[in-house]
Amino acid sequence: MEKYLSIINQRTFGILAISLVSTLLIYHFSFTYDLDLTLISIAIVFPLVFTIRSAFKRRDRALEYLSRFRSGLVSVDFSFLSIKKLSKEDKTTIHQQILTTSKAMMDFLDGSIGTLDELRAEASKINQFILDKADLIKPSNRLKIINQLYNVHMGIETVASIKQYNTPKSMRAYCLIFIYLYPIMCTPSIYFKLQQGVHEGNLYLLIFLSLTSSFILISLFNVQEQLENPFDRKGLDDIHAETFAFKTHIN
């Protein structure tokens, strides 16, 4: 239950308070007008859905490139193990470096420790190992390993860009402003339509409709905000990066 309540925060109570107060004032002064609610879909719903879709696409790309990062490390590890001229100590050394690179990625995504520069440095040590042992590795094997490392480096750079750069802040700020304005702008129209129907402007129904619609909009905004960083473990759909860690061992 706690996870499902994660979309509720101080912003939620703020918009509900605005909605309740504005509804009571509108009802008290009988302030109504006929507003086409299509305007709301253009002003709020469309940009809000756009930002949510963008956030989900970023999450899907993060999953794709985390998979490529891990598969690249696994391939590189097995490629080094298959090189007969490398000593057992050399194979153990590069295996440990691959594990260190994987851990550096997990530390970077965790956010508490580890930087992008440290992660890049650890990945570069694998490339340096290839150069240092060039006389023991056939050119065809070197080319194969370098091609496999491409997935590793692409995974690092793509996931880093997703973590560090969010969807446009201006669009999210625009959505939030109009969500706060929504109860003030649209409750009079809801009241007007109720007066035209069988309920004749029932106060409790007006409050229910106003609060519900405001809650839906702010909840969607909160979901989108939680998806901004898919690695911070603050949302139901966040990525468990540790599942992509390299954990194989030399027998």
- 91 and 154 within one domain: yes
Contact 53, 61 (CB under 8 A): no
Instruction: Give me the pLDDT at residue 214, please.
Output: 92
What pTM was computed for the model? Answer: 0.81
213 found inside a domain: yes
Instruction: Give me the pLDDT at residue 200, please.
Output: 63
Instruction: Give me the pLDDT at residue 2, please.
Output: 60
Instruction: Give me the pLDDT at residue 34, please.
Output: 85
205 found inside a domain: yes
Mean pLDDT in consecutive groups of 10 residues from the start of the chain, 251 residues: 74 94 91 81 83 88 93 93 90 93 90 83 93 89 92 94 84 89 90 76 88 92 85 79 77 48
- 216 and 118 within one domain: no
245 found inside a domain: no
Residue-number span of the structural domain to which 147 is assigned: 57-166
- 162 and 117 within one domain: yes
Instruction: Give me the pLDDT at residue 112, please.
Output: 67
Number of domains present in the structure of the chain: 2
Q: Pick from 117, 149, 166: which residue ends a domain? A: 166
- 126 and 94 within one domain: yes
